[in-house]
């Protein structure tokens, strides 16, 4: 049985602000990995660029930090290459829903088994507080002093209509509840998407007071049926849909392909991969 401490890496100095919600996500992830009893050497932690993308530095697993908006394709490749490892991605909302949103939509279609966590703080925090795609209408940011004049995107609805097979939201301030969601996501045989409301103490203070934490609505309390896609959409689109936390939708044993195994089966060496590429070469 692994313990939470097995996943700690203290060799690199911490740079998150004291009180940052990312600490809650880190704690919940390590708790879920430990409860799932996955050895650290069987875990690959992948980050995008942003405050949230720093998580792999402090996690004693195999780690990779990609480019802004490009964590997902790298992670999908890792999962295809080593399906026995658990790949976990930590992306920011700018990374996932802005520059990387094209990758996200296709990841729902591909349904490769991995856990994709999005730290949703409503801002581009690392670059000092520009509004992100989930910022509320009229929210002010460092480059929009008069307020953003576009409505926010709704990540849960986007995931549901794109074919997501595991769609959930957690709150970084409720670590036990978030850890339960991540544990379920790890067990899911497909692409597990978790939007995580993540207070940023430096650039989004509205998310940091007690009234924000108190506004969370647990789906479990309304006897929501997570096997019903229409019910999930109704929850997401209904009143206070952006404050609802829990598992909106989970479809196991689906007939959709879970990986590109048909194409990559047997490709365990560079020579195997070349065997795939050679016929595609244009020769002059
Ligand atoms: C291609 C590219 N564009 C822009 C940047 C600059 N950049 C670095 S982090 C960041 C924003 C990160 O915001 P988010 O993904 O929400 O993560 P957070 O810092 O809020 O966790 C940007 C725009 C970059 N590194 N690469
Ligand atoms: S700027 Fe915000 S998101 Fe970044 S470390 Fe500080 S509190 Fe966290
Ligand atoms: Mg952000």
Burial of 22 (0-12, 13-18, 19+ CB in 10 A): buried
Task: Examine residue 32 and state whether it is found in any structural domain, yes or no.
Answer: yes
For residue 46, give its domain range: 4-257
Task: Examine residue 24 and state whether it is found in any structural domain, yes or no.
Answer: yes
Tell me the pTM: 0.93
Q: How far, in Å, is the centroid of ligand 3 from the Cα of 51?
A: 8
Task: Examine residue 275 and state whether it is found in any structural domain, yes or no.
Answer: no
CB 168 within 8 A of CB 162: no
Per-residue pLDDT for the chain (284 aa), expressed as one digit of tens each? 899 999 999 888 889 999 999 999 999 999 999 999 999 999 999 999 999 999 999 999 999 998 999 999 999 999 999 999 999 999 999 999 999 999 999 999 999 999 999 999 999 999 999 999 999 999 999 999 999 999 999 999 999 999 999 999 999 999 999 999 999 999 999 999 999 999 999 999 999 999 999 999 999 999 999 999 999 999 999 999 999 999 999 998 765 554 555 555 566 677 777 777 777 777 65
Q: How far, in Å, is the centroid of ligand 3 from the Cα of 47?
A: 13
User: Which residues form ligand 2's pocket by a CB distance below 6 Å?
Assistant: 16-17, 20, 22, 51, 121, 125, 200-203
Give the Cα separation of 33 and 86 in Å (integer).
9
Q: Which atom of ligand 2 is nearest to the CA of 52?
A: 3
Q: How many domains does the chain have?
A: 1
Q: What is the pLDDT of residue 112?
A: 96
Instruction: Return the C-alpha torsion angle 272, 192, 34, 71, nearest 10.
Output: 60
Ligand with an atom nearest the CA of residue 15:
2
Which residue, 84, 31, 41, 88, is CA-closest to 61? 41
Q: What is the pLDDT of residue 12?
A: 87
Q: What is the pLDDT of residue 260?
A: 53
- CATH for 18: 3.40.50.970
Which residue, 220, 215, 217, 214, is CA-closest to 247? 220
All residues at 6 or more sequence positions from 89 whose CB lies less than 8 Å from its CB, including other chains: 45, 46, 47, 48, 71, 72, 75, 114, 115, 116, 117
Q: Which of 203, 207, 208 to mutate to test the pocket of ligand 2 (most atoms within 8 A of CB)?
A: 203
Q: Which atom of ligand 2 is nearest to the CA of 203?
A: 2
Task: Examine residue 180 and state whether it is found in any structural domain, yes or no.
Answer: yes
Task: Examine residue 280 and state whether it is found in any structural domain, yes or no.
Answer: no
Task: Examine residue 19 and state whether it is found in any structural domain, yes or no.
Answer: yes
Task: Examine residue 106 and state whether it is found in any structural domain, yes or no.
Answer: yes
Q: What is the pLDDT of residue 268?
A: 65
Task: Examine residue 266 and state whether it is found in any structural domain, yes or no.
Answer: no
Q: How far, in Å, is the centroid of ligand 3 from the Cα of 55?
A: 14
Longest dimension (CA), the chain: 67
Q: How far, in Å, is the centroid of ligand 1 from the Cα of 52?
A: 10
Q: Quick one: CA dihedral 213, 139, 231, 94, positive or negative?
A: negative
């Amino acid at each position: 049985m692994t313990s939470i401490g097995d996943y700690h890496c203290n060799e690199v100095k911490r740079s998150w602000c004291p009180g940052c919600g990312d600490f809650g996500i880190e704690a919940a992830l390590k708790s879920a990995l430990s409860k799932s009893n996955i050895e650290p050497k069987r875990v690959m932690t992948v980050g995008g660029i942003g405050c949230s993308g720093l998580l792999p530095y402090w996690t004693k697993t195999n780690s990779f930090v990609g480019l802004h908006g490009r964590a997902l394709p790298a992670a999908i490749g890792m999962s295809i290459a080593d399906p026995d490892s658990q790949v976990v991605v930590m992306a920011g909302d700018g990374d996932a829903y802005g520059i990387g949103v094209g990758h996200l939509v296709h990841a729902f279609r591909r349904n490769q088994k991995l856990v994709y966590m999005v730290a949703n703080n409503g801002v581009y925090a690392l670059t000092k507080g520009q509004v992100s795609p989930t910022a509320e209408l009229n929210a002010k940011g460092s480059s929009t002093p008069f307020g953003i004049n576009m409505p926010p995107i709704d990540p849960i609805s986007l995931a549901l209509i794109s074919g997501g097979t595991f769609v959930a939201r957690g709150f970084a301030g409720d670590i036990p509840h978030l850890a339960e969601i991540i544990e379920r996501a790890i067990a899911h045989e497909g692409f597990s998407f978790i939007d995580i409301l993540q207070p940023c103490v430096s650039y989004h203070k509205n998310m940091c007071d007690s009234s924000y934490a108190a506004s969370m609505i647990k789906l479990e309390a309304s006897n929501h049926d997570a096997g019903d896609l229409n019910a999930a959409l109704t929850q997401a689109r209904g009143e206070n849909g952006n404050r609802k936390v829990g598992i909106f939708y989970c479809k196991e044993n689906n007939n959709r392909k879970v990986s590109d195994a048909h194409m990559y089966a047997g490709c365990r060496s560079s020579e195997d991969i070349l065997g795939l590429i050679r016929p595609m070469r244009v020769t002059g």
